[in-house]
Amino acid sequence: MSHYEIYALKFAGPFVRPEAFLLWLRDWERTERIHYYIWCAKGPKATVVVDSGLSPQMAKERQLEGYENPAEVLRRIDVEVEQVRHVILTHLHWDHANGVILFPRATFYVQEAEYRFWIHDPVARTPPFLELLDPDSREALSRLETSGRLVLLPGEEEILPGVRCVPAPGHTPALQAVILETSRGAAVLGSDCAHLFRNFREQWPSILIADLAAWIKSYQRLADLASSPDLLFPGHDARMLEDFPMVATGVSRLV
């Protein structure tokens, strides 16, 4: 069995958000710090990047505080984007998918239902959804499909030994989590199925909901897949950087 080491790489932040945004309709008077991350899993035979972050151009357009090019952050753990062959996109919100252009030789993996919704469903062109996937990302993803560098997964699938993609819908129509075999057992990169560790612990989603009932089921599903509760990781919690061993500036080793 291939065992992976998992790293969280901060590419922007910190940002202060109302807790009612991160924990749906709760604690209106409180705030929480978050970061924007990608993740990297290093195995004996493969390196896998989870999510792509966003490009310098979009960071400039959005005036994103504390932004660093994800390619530069990856270089701190000796990963060159030109050498990355596998990038898993957990979902297609702009802060997770806009950076596909940074990985010129990678194959990208996304749930087919997620891709079909954002690229082809007319609902994705309505105002609430237009805020979440930008036109540049939509165009770049369409080009990847045409070039054969986009793998559309029909559901749960092992894409490499020790690397499984598992549907965890709710935040988006077909968000996927990544299950990685590590020396401590199965670890789950849940991405925005939980913005914070608290979302997992309390089974309480954020305010960005595509399907609330599906989201609650996803919490139980991911909890069952993790070998232990401390191997279940969220998408934006600042504690992923603060509470784990820091191996480089803005990079922590989760497992």
Q: Give the pLDDT of residue 2.
A: 78
Torsion of CA 162, 234, 51, 76, to 10 degrees: -90
Indicate whether 1 pLDDT > 80. no
What average pLDDT score do residues 205-224 get? 97
- 143-191, pLDDT tens digit by residue? 999 999 999 999 999 999 999 999 999 999 999 999 999 999 999 999 9
Sequence-separated (6 or more) residues with CB below 8 Å from residue 97: 51, 52, 89, 91, 133, 137, 141
Rounded Cα gap, residues 161 and 30, in angstroms: 43
Reduced to 3 states (helix: H, G, I; strand: E, B; else coil), residue 157 is strand
If you average pLDDT over every residue of the chain, what do you get? 97
Rounded Cα gap, residues 225 and 179, in angstroms: 8
Reduced to 3 states (helix: H, G, I; strand: E, B; else coil), residue 236 is coil
pTM: 0.97
